[in-house]
Amino acid sequence: MIRQLSASAVVLAIAALSATALPAAQAPDAWSRVAATFASRVRETGIVGASLLVVKDGAVAHQAVAGLQDRATARPVDADTIFHWASITKTFTGVAIMQLRDRGLLSLDDPVVKHVPELRDVHNPFGDIAQVTVRHLMSHSGGFRAGTWPWGGDKPWHPFEPTRWAQLVAMLPYTDIQFRPGTAYSYSNPGVVFLGRTIEQLSGEDYEVYVAKHILMPLGMTRTFFDRAPRHLLAHRSHSYAGAADALREQPFDFDSGITVSNGGLNAPLGDMAKYLAFLIDGNDSVLERSSLLDMAMPQVRAKDGEGGSGADVQAGLSCFIERHDGVELVGHSGDQAGFISHLYVHRPSRSGYVVSFNTNVTSARDPRLTTRAVDDDVRAAVATLYWRR
């Protein structure tokens, strides 16, 4: 039987694990400073475990880990640790839509109802539901509500998310468009579910199967999966936690995202995410041409300040965000679900980018600096000193 550690032993174990640089060429001083910032901020905030990886010129340039993937067993985060990427999954959905576009199976300006006829039951006070296009859903400007559930979801016996398409269809007659499509921004998970359904309708394959065959396999992402872990990878899957640093509670880390898988069902180690980053930076014609990746990063509508990351200027692209931080333009997406907080950023001028994942959503009513969100911001500022800003 696995021995459970006391809370005090866990704290000591976490404190003893400063960020460990994984094997690489001798790190320059700039990376040493980034790794030190990452380690100290994770430790002082009370985050149980985290991992950071930087890609440059198509290869892993730097990687560091900190803390534990499971505080009950004191198992440390390592290069094989699998994190949940939550809404970063939406970027894979966007790539799949662009693949279908490039094959001539859809236009971004198609009415979504053309591919998802059940949407005819949605109430649109601004006119015909055909006003809502694929482009609107990709840029969160279609006018749909934010959450998948318009009610419920607050009881322990409720499913984590709707598990079947029929459940979402049953809610459509009680769903309305909240602003004229294309005129404003409002982050919408149901809108991305409709994109996932479009992929299934046009490809004839389940969403997970399509993405595995047309994105994961050609990129060599062999340890990436959706929803619950396969048995041979379960031991590597990070647990997750949420709450105040002195009162963290474990979250449901190995769950089924149900019909919302196209929103946030992805799980992967950082090594696989490095392959995805390299693809987003330079393209890969066997997956998607670089020109189509550039199309995804074209601003569509101004997003809410702070969406996708704290930035003075944030635009919604096609299944991604374009953010300007102190004059540096980044393309990326964040993830926040079940205690995991993650970020992915690409800086194309320098052919670099990074991914970071924290397995703990620390909140604080006393000190806004001692939150996972603040650590995420500090990591971005530190990584910027490597290649984006001297």
The whole-number average pLDDT for the span 60-65 is 98
Structure token digits, residue 109 = 């300006």
Lookup result for tokens 């730097």: 62
Give the domain 7-85+236-258+267-387 fold.
Beta-lactamase (3.40.710)
In tens, the pLDDT along 319-328 reads 999 999 888 9
Q: Which residues contact 349 (CB under 8 A, 6 or more apart)?
A: none
Q: Residues, the chain, total?
A: 390
How far apart (Å, rounded) are the C-alpha atoms in residues 228 and 41?
A: 30
Type and span of the H or E element at 192 = helix 189-203
Lookup result for tokens 């006393």: 366
How far apart (Å, rounded) are the C-alpha atoms in residues 196 and 192?
A: 6
Q: What are phi and psi of 149, to 5 degrees?
A: -90, 125
Specify the pLDDT at position 309: 61
CA distances in angstroms from 24 to 28, 134, 191, 279, listed in the order given: 11, 43, 42, 21
Which is more confidently placed, 327 or 137?
137
CA distances in angstroms from 75 to 23, 130, 243, listed in the order given: 19, 52, 21
How far apart (Å, rounded) are the C-alpha atoms in residues 144 and 371?
A: 30
The model's confidence at residue 56, banded by pLDDT at 50, 70 and 90, is: very high
In tens, the pLDDT along 333-356 reads 999 999 999 999 999 999 999 999
CATH superfamily of 92-207: DD-peptidase/beta-lactamase superfamily (3.40.710.10)
DSSP 168: H
The whole-number average pLDDT for the span 305-312 is 65
Structure token digits, residue 375 = 């650590």
The model's confidence at residue 6, banded by pLDDT at 50, 70 and 90, is: very low
Read off the amino acid at residue 129. I
How far apart (Å, rounded) are the C-alpha atoms in residues 138 and 141?
A: 8
What does pTM read for this prediction?
A: 0.92
In tens, the pLDDT along 153-169 reads 677 777 777 888 999 99
Specify the pLDDT at position 5: 41
Read off the amino acid at residue 39. A
Share of the chain above pLDDT 70, in %: 90
CB atoms inside a 10 Å sphere around CB 79: 16
Cβ atoms of 62 and 34 closer than 8 Å: yes
DSSP string, 196-214: HHHHHHHHSS-HHHHHIII
Cβ atoms of 122 and 129 closer than 8 Å: yes
Structure token digits, residue 75 = 């198992």
Domain boundary assignment for the chain: 7-85+236-258+267-387, 92-207
CB atoms inside a 10 Å sphere around CB 276: 27
Any idea which of 15-24, 199-208, 265-274, 358-367 has the lowest mean pLDDT?
15-24
Specify the pLDDT at position 3: 38
pLDDT at 307 over 90: no
How far apart (Å, rounded) are the C-alpha atoms in residues 390 and 384?
A: 8
Specify the pLDDT at position 156: 75
Type and span of the H or E element at 334 = strand 328-337
The three-class DSSP label of residue 316 is strand
Write down the mean pLDDT value for the chain.
Answer: 91
